[in-house]
Structure 1
């Protein structure tokens, strides 16, 4: 058996090489991989000994040679292939172990791997005769099969070939995306939201996904199967989440928890205070900021205690005993997310309900693009969220908000941006007191928010995710007792709506930015 080893990530390669040598394999390698094996005392043959040609162009051309690719691509079942090998003195290669330059971490021309993908694709194409390994996690299983049977099983070779093509596909897609950026921006990752349209929306998008390791209980409903997939080579924060307790997550647990985690981090970053968010069916039913985490949680829970039952609780700071005690006294949660847990707090939550999923998570990693699937394709856009700063907002009424009202208006607006449309959010003193979500008309969303607020919005703020088309929505906000209304503006009846606010003694602020969320 002859094995060619050429890896950028040296994890486990020495141990693999020793195992192969013990099985009688001849190793061929070059560059850093060969040096690592030689320094470990593993016998290895240089690629240039095999090809009779030295590496050139600063290591750009090393394995691009017929004696390498002929040895990988030869179909040993075809007499003409065997004759070609013999005629040209080409030795067959049975195992190819390659991983690629880390282009995704540091995009540059010199990290566009050429020889690596070429060998990977060649070996994967000829998987009937050649085993290709691109992931150190597969080293031990391959060694185990070789030790047990003297060969790698056909099914394993096919599985590894599929994995290899997925790797090269994702790698090429990442390079293509980088090259599609304007030249002045191509020294780093693609621009995020707000960048040029060509950066966000290139002519072609290639998404290569791999299934993550955790098992999801089911989809939106128990009769639907589900799994989480991630972009190959671009893990997100969910890959670093640690589950300390509870039953496995479901599709909706992940979807709702992602929404809660994004919002709680946004509120904490904006306010500079601890924040707590409770999400139910992708909508926040409670949100608050406060000087302490326990107070933020209590105020978030008080927003809508009935809806909080079975919801997702997200906390911006590590769970402390005071907050844990408050959570135990409140309605049970399906999922709890926090950046950490002080001693004893996980056990306290478990004692309340053993099935609650207790998750420790790093900060969220915002996506570059937002996808939504439709029949036969996808819609692609910038990720949702607030872009317009308060400094760009415009007071359009005679009455100006005072600083406390400004603060409530900003919080209401940030929460409203994460509520399904049509949405109305009422806030008072750093606490959402009424949230009306997902209604077909804005007035009804306001009525629901006011009903939930039950008088607690007096002197606070009302946010609407889109403009008020008629004065009736502003009249409903005034009836709920708010002092300031924040909305995008832009209706043909803006003058009537502003006049109604003036008549009712409200302050009104236009953000110039709609926040529909579907």
Structure 2
């Protein structure tokens, strides 16, 4: 008995030569719609779907393959006599290959002009049904959903006299179920956003493999990098690499942290990152000024770090960057002259990211053993809160500008976090400490004499007055913190004793 293949694809890349090879092997081809027309134009002898079902396509093609003559041919188990007798009685022929990929739902909703109606019309029904039927019965039916598998399937058919191994068919079936699961996840995510549900009872997020990584945090750990199809376009997963060696697991984490910092600044800004914490942040009139400040904030820690800029990197900035070893430079663009300078460093990774498409409210998902945590991205800014000033002394205009900068940065520092800033640059960062006064001491020690006259930002309130006292002794002039401690008055009194102006935001910025 001749084998039959059912072919119906939206992505027609490579379909004609693939089906032509199947036909050469004696396989009959059933097809629908645009796929049928394209195959016929290429000279393939095609059986129309209506000739198999005895029923015309209807409702703009919504109903064409949802028929017992199709699904019976897919689901019939070959070594089950009852199945075979039932198919024979109903005159249903077997289908041995299914070549299907789905309506372009993702491509549709990504178009700026796409409407809700467009999205609904690009939800495939018949395709997933055929894929699932074939994949369920994969012992007898080969299901091919990925154009990358065409050559593999053809080669195995040639090697084994027109047959595919059970192992190959299981692999194809597993991919098929991943394919439909990801498709449904995208649809579910889209419709959930449309309905405004914040925490649905099922969290179905899909990711596409972007690349395998050499290893994870350490050489003995397997790792891969996946991209979220509907994720924030201003992300390391959407970056274009212009130069340098392959990104590592740690590179990707650090680059993500660097992008998060510079997204919070409107004027020219540069963030240097080491182990996912900012080691230096600078703002200026030009990107060169901003980079110089970020570098001078901590010339030791920036060595081997990741640098992110929110403006084009020009030649002057590139020449200064070239003076030290950097792992990555990220920017919206690089001038031709800057590229000529930086590409002289063979391993330096240069990435471009379109910062104009920022969608900062993306959900953040973190896995834990046996589960996952989901939260909104922390996008709260100084302009979003109502500040109060409980101290006798009020901040000067310059101090207000500096605490705004410091508060933007401290949001991106691992808790417990303290950031000192002065003259549009960070001068000390205390990150990831078990107590707040310890974080303050680290930041102050790093700042040295620069701490005198600087401002301090804290990601959370002071449980006691010891941090304020430490700041006062170092010459800190202004502090921004959430407030809300039962012992706030002790911190206020200590600030008054040292002549410190203190600003309460009412909002903390924990980052774990």
1:379 alignment counterpart:
373
CA 1:168–1:56: 2 relative to 1, 3 Å: same
Q: Following TM superposition, by how much is the alpha carbon of 1:387 offset from its aligned partner in structure 2, in angstroms? A: 5.0
Map 1:318-329 to 2 at 5 A: 318-329=312-323
Secondary structure of 2:327 counterpart:
strand
Alignment match, 2:126:
115
Equivalent residue in structure 2 for 1:343, among 336, 347, 372:
336
8 Å CA contact 1:426, 1:450 repeated in 2: yes
Which residue in 2 is equivalent to 1:404? Answer: 398
- Aligned to 2:336, what secondary structure does the other structure show? coil
CA distance in 1, matches of 2:461, 2:341: 45
* 1:207 Cα deviation after fit: 4.2
- 3-state SS of 1:308 partner: coil
Where 1:462 maps in the other structure, the secondary structure is strand
Aligned residues, how many?
Answer: 497
- How many angstroms apart in 2 are the aligned matches of 1:180 and 1:465? 33
For residues 240 and 425 of structure 2, what CA distance do their matches in structure 1 show? 29
Matches within 5 A, 1:400-479: 400-479=394-473
| C-alpha RMSD of matched pairs (Å) | 2.8
Q: Please give the TM-score of this superposition, normalised by the length of structure 2.
A: 0.87
Native 8 Å contact 2:98 2:141 kept in 1: yes
Residues 22-421 of structure 1 mapped to structure 2, 5 A cutoff:
22-38=24-40, 42-104=44-106, 105-106=108-109, 108-146=119-157, 149=160, 150-178=162-190, 185-186=194-195, 199-213=197-211, 215-231=212-228, 237-267=235-265, 272-330=266-324, 332-343=325-336, 345-346=338-339, 348-349=341-342, 351-352=344-345, 354-363=346-355, 368-386=362-380, 389-390=383-384, 392-421=386-415
| Partner-residue secondary structure (3-state), 1:498 | helix
Partner of 2:113: none
SS in 2 for 1:502: helix
Q: Secondary structure at the match of 1:411?
A: helix
Matched residue SS, 1:305: coil
Q: CA, structure 1 residues 118+136, in 2 after alignment: closer, same or farther (shift >3 Å)?
A: same
Take 1:282 and 1:437, find their aligned partners in 2: how far apart are those partners?
A: 10
- The answer to whether structure 1 residue 9 and structure 2 residue 20 are counterparts is no
Over 3 Å counting, the alpha-carbon distance change for 1:392 and 1:244 in structure 2 is: same
Which secondary structure does the structure 2 equivalent of 1:266 belong to? coil
Mapped contact 1:385–1:417 kept (Cα < 8 A): no
Q: CA deviation at 1:300?
A: 0.5
Where does residue 194 of structure 1 map in the other structure? none
1:258-287 deviations in Å (ceiling 9; x for gaps): 1112212222xxxx3222111111111011
Q: Which runs of 5+ in 1 are unaligned?
A: 192-198
In structure 2, C-alpha distance between the alignment counterparts of 1:30 and 1:388, rounded to whole Å: 58
The separation in 1 between residues aligned to 2:267 and 2:133, in whole angstroms, is 55
**Structure 2 stretches lacking a partner, 5+ long:** 110-115
CA change 1:241–1:142 in 2 (3 A) is farther
- After TM superposition, the structure 1 stretch with the greater mean CA deviation from structure 2, 481-490 or 234-243, is 234-243
- Is contact 1:200–1:382 with CA below 8 Å preserved after alignment? no
Distance 2:354 2:460 in 1: 32
Question: Contact (CA 8 Å) 2:393, 2:499: kept in 1 or not?
Answer: yes
Structure 1 residues 39-95: Cα deviation after superposition (integer angstroms, max 9, x where no partner): 666543321111001223443321111111111222223343333332222222222
User: Distance in 1 between the 2:418 and 2:276 partners?
Assistant: 15
Give the superposition deviation at 1:347: 5.5
Q: Which residue of 2 aligns with 1:507?
A: 501
